[in-house]
Amino acid sequence: MLRITELKLPLDHNEAALRSAAAARLEVGEAEIGALHVARRGYDARRRSAVSLVYSLDVALRDESTVLARPKPDPRITPTPDIAYHQVAHAPATLEHRPIVVGAGPCGLLAALTLAQMGFRPIILDRGKVVRERTKDTWALWRRGILAPESNVQFGEGGAGTFSDGKLWSGIKDPLHLGRKVLEEFVAAGAPPEILYVSKPHIGTFRLVTVVEALRVQIEALGGEYRFGTRVDGLDIAETPQGRQLRGVILADGSHISADHVVLAIGHSARDTFAMLDQAGVFLEPKPFSIGLRIEHPQSLIDTCRFGPSAGHPLLGAADYKLVHHASNGRSVYSFCMCPGGTVVAATSEPKHVVTNGMSQYSRAERNANAGIVVSITPADYPGGALAGIAFQREWEQRAFTAGGGTYAAPAQRVEDFLAGRPSTALGGVIPSYKPGVTPTDLASCLPDYAVAAIREAIPAFDRQIRGFAMGDAVLTGVETRTSAPLRITRAANGESRNTLGLYPAGEGAGYAGGILSAAVDGIRAAEAVARSIVTDETYLGSGRSRQQMPQP
């Protein structure tokens, strides 16, 4: 088949127009075209008066070689790439210790699935609960202000991504098309097939729940074993001539599981686990992250600004945005985790802290758009070692808890008041979506002065790109601190910890991903690294591929 890219058509074209446009690009008659498959569909909204759809198509022709052999080939016409996933190894017949995956978020889930598909029968340990029970605990915080420290937005089956917009796109480099494997596994588990071709796929929280459950069933059917309510509180590490070698994990109840290979997919909020790793001597280093506030506008305002008269078209859906401003104080301010037609949610995992995040359902039908407006933070802002960033996050989360009234209500402020430097005493026409509620106040006490100054400068700048962004009644809610892990569990080229053999840090908690798709892809890479370490040369050769041919991380 041939891949046609950058094929533009009007927003309301009919099905026949797609085949006609493909024939015109290929310079063949329509009768020459056999099968036609949409590989990707996006949109071009640079001209709001004439929003167009942009396609990549896979087309079967009677004579593909003639098209490719033309004297002046069109670079937008190429052979369809091979994006099928190929397993890197198969488990040996006997295995002394089964690999362990710590964490059942997107990273751990795909690591476990990939290991199970290769026959390694992984053991999956998660401190939280199965996703349905976890959902009940999460709603208890949102509705009644009751926090379950081990079962919440951050902890439990599905990870933090379960209570988000369910975005399934990423800017990572992915030459092996591992992201495609993630999407295909999700579709096989019940996600909408459109995520395979739309330019910005998402599935929303409720659908993610069913996908996570279906993937668990598949992993268990392949010999994987889940243990929920199981927190890893220690590592068994032996000093060997080759270096520090992992021998197993120690659980919160004091029990021990022997293992030579552990994928550490703990997520960005496992602060007690980070402390345990530091105490165990695992190499950690501080890294940049961002903190800020959530902002809410009417979704209709964003739709109109982005799509003009095409706002509300079913193929476009709720509009999103991506904004960046470089403030005069040297800080970068940018929109983070934008959730069209969504809600701002309580995302703390620790008592007496307030943390915000954004979430959407598949329909994206709520009245408000929300996004984090966050400011870059570097290790120079929190000197003191690898764990200092956690202390930095906690300080502002505790301040937000106090400013919100000490009940898990969040501090909030009208944009007009925030820009003017005065506290809000009431909110206006934009109704905040955060549950269990908000307290009008002055958000300047909830962030460092340099972050407040940078955001105050950025909002009017963003208004020049999206008219109405600085509307007086738009609502700011604080604080957004969990944009990423404040540290990195540094790993070597083979995927292992820099100083602990057998430990494979992965995903957001290790500092190597940011979002559902990139975390899931990193989970696959970690699983492959474990498989390479376990299998023998004979196992590689038995699969018909030499060790030297195996893709490297």
**What does the buried/exposed string (b/e) look like for 362-393 if buried means 16 or more CB atoms within 10 Å of the residue's CB?**
bebebebbbbbbbbbbebebbeeebbbbbebb
pLDDT beyond 60 at 539: no
Residue 486 lies in a domain: no
d(CA 54, CA 407): 48
Banded pLDDT at 144 (limits 50, 70, 90): very high
- CATH number of the domain that residue 26 is part of: 3.30.70.2700
Same domain, 250 and 309: no
d(CA 404, CA 438): 7
Alpha helices by DSSP H, 204-324: 204-221, 271-279, 299-307
Over range 264-289, report the average pLDDT.
Answer: 97
Say how far residue 267 (Cα) sits from the centre of its chain. 11
Q: Which of 147, 126, 125 is nearest to 138 (CA)?
A: 147
Please list, in sequence order, all residues whose beta carbon lies within 8 angstroms of the beta carbon of residue 449, skipping any fewer than 6 positions away. none
Same domain, 127 and 194: yes
What confidence tens digit (pLDDT) does each residue in 70-80 have?
Answer: 999 999 999 99
Last residue of a domain, one of 24, 50, 79: 79
Same domain, 106 and 73: no
Same domain, 297 and 429: yes
Over range 172-181, report the average pLDDT.
Answer: 92
Same domain, 476 and 348: yes
pLDDT beyond 90 at 537: no
What confidence tens digit (pLDDT) does each residue in 233-249 have?
Answer: 999 999 999 899 999 99
Same domain, 55 and 177: no
Residue 85 lies in a domain: no
pLDDT value for 171: 86
> What 3-state class would DSSP assign to 352?
coil
Same domain, 364 and 411: yes
Residue 350 lies in a domain: yes
Banded pLDDT at 542 (limits 50, 70, 90): very low
Residue 90 lies in a domain: no
Give how many domains the chain has, as a whole number.
Answer: 3
pLDDT value for 550: 35
Q: Find the domain containing 39 and state its range.
A: 2-79
The radius of gyration computed from the CA coordinates of the chain, to the nearest angstrom, equals: 25
d(CA 337, CA 371): 6
Residue 89 lies in a domain: no
d(CA 131, CA 119): 25
Same domain, 383 and 445: yes
Banded pLDDT at 536 (limits 50, 70, 90): low
- CATH number of the domain that residue 214 is part of: 3.50.50.60
What confidence tens digit (pLDDT) does each residue in 464-509 have?
Answer: 999 999 999 999 999 999 999 999 999 999 999 999 999 999 999 9
For residue 532, give the DSSP letter. H
Same domain, 538 and 471: no
Alpha helices by DSSP H, 196-298: 204-221, 271-279
Same domain, 123 and 139: yes
Q: What DSSP letter does each residue of 147-167 carry, written as one string?
A: --TTSSSSSSTT-GGGGS--B
If you search the block for the tokens 């040297």, which residue do you land on?
Answer: 330
Residue 95 lies in a domain: no
pLDDT beyond 90 at 205: no
What is the rounded average pLDDT for all residues in the chain?
94
Same domain, 197 and 304: no
Last residue of a domain, one of 79, 110, 139: 79
Last residue of a domain, one of 480, 506, 527: 480
pLDDT value for 546: 35
